[in-house]
Structure 1
Amino acid sequence: MAIEFAHSPLLTFAIGLTLVVLLLVVWDLPAFVGLAIAAFSVGVVNAVFVPEFTLGQAATQTATAFGNGMAGIGIPILMAAIVGKSMLESGSAQRIVRGFQSLVGKNNSEFALWGSSTVLAIPVFFDSVFYLLAPLARSMRARMGKNYALYIVAVGAGGATAHVFIPPTPGPLAVASEIGVDLGITMLIGVAVAIPSATMSGLVYGHWINNRLDIPLRDSMGTTKEELEERASRSAESLPGVLESIAPIVLAVVLVSSLTLVNALESFYPALANVTPVVTFIGDKNVALTIAAIAAALTYLRWSNLSRSEWEGELTEALKSGGNIAAITAMGGAFGALLAASGIGPYFADGLEGIGIGLLVTAWLIAAIVRIAQGSATAAMLTAAGIMAPLASQLAVHPVYLVMVIGAGGNICSWYNDSGFWLVKEIGGLTQTETLKTWTALTTIISITGLVSVLVLSTLFPLA
Structure 2
Amino acid sequence: MPLLVVGISVLVLLLLMTKLKLNGFAALLLVAVGVGLVRGIPLEKIPDVLSEGIGGQVGDTMLTIGLGAMVGRVMGDSGAAQRIAGKLLDAFGPRGVQVAMVVTSMLIGVTMFYEVAFIIIVPIAFTLVRVTGAKLLWVGLPMSIALSTMHSFLPPHPGPTAVAATFHASVGLTLFYGLFIAVPVGALIALVWPRLPFVRAMNPSIPPGLVSERVFEDEEMPGLGWSLGVALFPVVLIAGAAVTDMATSGSSPFLHFVAFIGSAPIALLLTLLLAVWAFGPRIGRSLAEVSASCNSAAQAMAMILLVIGAGGAFKNVLVEGGISDYIKDQTHGWSISPIVLAWLIAVILRVALGSATVAVVTASGVVLPLLAGGGVHPEMMVLAVCCGSIAFSHVNDPGFWLFKEYFDLSVVEAIKVRTTYTTVLAVLGLGGVLAVERALDVLSL
Shorter-chain TM-score tier: over 0.9
Cα distance change on mapping 1:12 and 1:144 into 2, 3 Å: same
Equivalent-residue separation in structure 2 for 1:93 and 1:313 (angstroms):
17
Q: Offset of 1:103 from its aligned partner?
A: 1.6
Q: Which residue of 2 aligns with 1:192?
A: 180
Conserved in 2, the CA contact under 8 Å of 1:90 and 1:240? yes
Q: Offset of 1:184 from its aligned partner?
A: 2.3
| Alignment of 1:389 onto 2:371 | no
Q: Give the superposed CA RMSD.
A: 2.2
- Listed one character per residue, the Cα deviations across residues 349-385 of structure 1 (whole Å, up to 9, x for unaligned) are 3323333432222221110010011001121011110
Equivalent-residue separation in structure 2 for 1:41 and 1:221 (angstroms):
34
| Alignment of 1:155 onto 2:143 | yes
Q: How does 1:36-435 map to 2 (within 5 A)?
A: 36-47=29-40, 53-208=41-196, 212-223=200-211, 227-228=212-213, 230-231=214-215, 234-267=216-249, 273-301=252-280, 308-435=287-414
Equivalent-residue separation in structure 2 for 1:248 and 1:423 (angstroms):
23
Equivalent-residue separation in structure 1 for 2:282 and 2:73 (angstroms):
13
* Matched letter for residue 394 of structure 2: W
* Matched letter for residue 203 of structure 2: I
Q: Which residue of 1 aligns with 2:432?
A: 453
Cα distance change on mapping 1:149 and 1:282 into 2, 3 Å: same
Q: Offset of 1:187 from its aligned partner?
A: 1.3
More divergent stretch after superposition (32-41 vs 9-18): 9-18
Equivalent-residue separation in structure 1 for 2:176 and 2:60 (angstroms):
29
Equivalent-residue separation in structure 1 for 2:177 and 2:306 (angstroms):
37
- Listed one character per residue, the Cα deviations across residues 188-210 of structure 1 (whole Å, up to 9, x for unaligned) are 11111112220222112233358
| Alignment of 1:444 onto 2:437 | no
- Listed one character per residue, the Cα deviations across residues 386-412 of structure 1 (whole Å, up to 9, x for unaligned) are 001110123244232221111111100
* Matched letter for residue 39 of structure 1: A
User: SS of the counterpart of 2:377?
Assistant: coil
Q: Offset of 1:93 from its aligned partner?
A: 1.2
More divergent stretch after superposition (200-209 vs 287-296): 200-209
Q: Offset of 1:345 from its aligned partner?
A: 2.1
Report sequence identity in percent.
29
Conserved in 1, the CA contact under 8 Å of 2:69 and 2:120? no
Conserved in 1, the CA contact under 8 Å of 2:204 and 2:408? no
- Listed one character per residue, the Cα deviations across residues 306-327 of structure 1 (whole Å, up to 9, x for unaligned) are 7654543342222122232222
- Listed one character per residue, the Cα deviations across residues 426-457 of structure 1 (whole Å, up to 9, x for unaligned) are 23333323322332222112101101111222
| Alignment of 1:18 onto 2:11 | yes
Conserved in 1, the CA contact under 8 Å of 2:137 and 2:407? no
Unaligned runs of 5+ in 1: 1-7, 48-52
Cα distance change on mapping 1:428 and 1:134 into 2, 3 Å: farther
State the aligned residue count: 443
| Alignment of 1:31 onto 2:24 | yes
Conserved in 2, the CA contact under 8 Å of 1:221 and 1:427? no
More divergent stretch after superposition (63-72 vs 195-204): 195-204
More divergent stretch after superposition (429-438 vs 129-138): 429-438
User: SS of the counterpart of 1:461?
Assistant: helix
Conserved in 2, the CA contact under 8 Å of 1:123 and 1:260? yes
Equivalent-residue separation in structure 2 for 1:382 and 1:278 (angstroms):
28
Q: Offset of 1:331 from its aligned partner?
A: 1.5
Conserved in 1, the CA contact under 8 Å of 2:28 and 2:311? yes
TM-score, L = length of structure 2: 0.93
Q: Which residue of 2 aligns with 1:9?
A: 2
Conserved in 2, the CA contact under 8 Å of 1:114 and 1:158? yes
Q: Offset of 1:221 from its aligned partner?
A: 4.3
Cα distance change on mapping 1:18 and 1:439 into 2, 3 Å: closer
Cα distance change on mapping 1:405 and 1:425 into 2, 3 Å: same
Equivalent-residue separation in structure 2 for 1:350 and 1:313 (angstroms):
54
Conserved in 1, the CA contact under 8 Å of 2:57 and 2:309? yes
More divergent stretch after superposition (309-318 vs 387-396): 309-318
Q: Offset of 1:38 from its aligned partner?
A: 1.6
* Matched letter for residue 93 of structure 2: G
More divergent stretch after superposition (392-401 vs 402-411): 392-401
Equivalent-residue separation in structure 2 for 1:209 and 1:134 (angstroms):
24
Q: Which residue of 2 aligns with 1:5?
A: none
Equivalent-residue separation in structure 1 for 2:295 and 2:264 (angstroms):
21
Unaligned runs of 5+ in 2: none
TM-score, L = length of structure 1: 0.89
- Listed one character per residue, the Cα deviations across residues 206-262 of structure 1 (whole Å, up to 9, x for unaligned) are 333587234233334444xxx53x42xx33222211122123321111122232122
Cα distance change on mapping 1:102 and 1:440 into 2, 3 Å: same
